[in-house]
Structure 1
Amino acid sequence: MQTRMDYYKVHPKVYSLMGHMEKFIKEQDLDPILYELIKIRASQINGCAFCLDMHTRDLRKMGESEERIALISVWRECTYYTDAEKAVLHLTEVVTEITTQGVPQTVYNEVLKHFSEKQYMDIIVAINTINNWNRIAISTGMFPGCKD
């Protein structure tokens, strides 16, 4: 396999812009494990193998269990995730596929049971950031191992 381009070299300002988004999220009070769960779920939906590989590795380095990593796509069917994590995984799905149904009020309400409105916005920015990364990686032909 070969990537279409090395966007880091072709347009370094894009990487810098995305880096600012990552820095913003890390400056908020969003739990780093929750952010990785968001990244993995969105990457699964978008079919971004590069990002999925990267973020499952990152979650392993953070000490997450193989069960929690392997079962993110079926979070509704198991007990490995907290109610707050489930609410965010659901929000990640509807925001990633926003043209399907928007963000239903029930999903919004469920997230607000566990997070403040400010945290809700932080989560939305986190979801949008990984969706941007997914689209960059897929559009430029990135694949697992292409940066090794």
Structure 2
Amino acid sequence: MPARMRLEEVAPEGYRTVMELHAYARATVDPVLLELVKLRASMVNRCAYCVDTHSTEATEAGEDPRRLFALAAWRETPFFSARERAALALTDAVTRVADAGVPDDVWDEVTRHFTEKEAADLVMAIIMMNSFNRIAISTRKVPAVP
């Protein structure tokens, strides 16, 4: 399936804005947590390009591949801390926001583990990843064949 366009070339100013949000997320969210959020959102959105990119980056950064594989069924595994679980639940809710919004129980769990500023930064990171998923999916960006 060929790519439709390279959005970063066709609309560089808009793409640069999304990249600035990515830089913000990298500066404000714990790097391990950020990689989990990026990969989980990409799995939920079924973005092949981003799943490939973020699983590769997380592995290269030293993340345990077993935890990365388990993100597909994170609720059923013992591999994630309570803080990570709160972030993953928020990632799922924000990514699927049209289904049920962000339920109060999900938000309450986030506020148990994150300060208000950390929660805000986490929401921004989830929004950023969903933006990149939508860019990659709509333009048919595909991972390179190994």
TM (norm. structure 1) is 0.94
1:73 deviates by 1.5
* Secondary structure of the structure 2 residue equivalent to 1:81: coil
Percentage of identical aligned residues:
38
Aligned partner letter, 1:47 = R
Q: Tell me the alpha carbon deviations over residues 91-112 of structure 1, each in whole angstroms, 9 at most, x when there is no partner.
A: 1001100111111111111111
TM (norm. structure 2) is 0.96
Structure 2 distance, partners of 1:24, 1:64, is 21
Q: Tell me the alpha carbon deviations over residues 21-50 of structure 1, each in whole angstroms, 9 at most, x when there is no partner.
A: 01111222x111101111111111111000
Match of 1:19 in 2: 19
> Would you say 1:79 and 2:78 are equivalent positions?
yes
* 1:1-148 matches, cutoff 5 A: 1-28=1-28, 30-145=29-144
* Secondary structure of the structure 2 residue equivalent to 1:120: helix
**Comparing 45-54 with 1-10, which one deviates more in the overlay?**
1-10
Structure 2 distance, partners of 1:117, 1:100, is 24
* Secondary structure of the structure 1 residue equivalent to 2:113: coil
> What number of residue pairs does the alignment pair up?
146
Note the aligned Cα RMSD (angstroms).
1.3
1:19 deviates by 1.3
Structure 2 distance, partners of 1:6, 1:75, is 33
Gap runs ≥5 in structure 1: none
1:140 deviates by 0.5
* Secondary structure of the structure 2 residue equivalent to 1:122: helix
Contact 2:38-2:129 at 8 Å conserved across structures: yes
Structure 2 distance, partners of 1:142, 1:43, is 13
Aligned partner letter, 1:127 = I
Aligned partner letter, 1:76 = R
1:11 deviates by 1.3
* Secondary structure of the structure 2 residue equivalent to 1:113: helix
1:9 deviates by 1.5
Q: Tell me the alpha carbon deviations over residues 119-145 of structure 1, each in whole angstroms, 9 at most, x when there is no partner.
A: 111000000000000000000010111
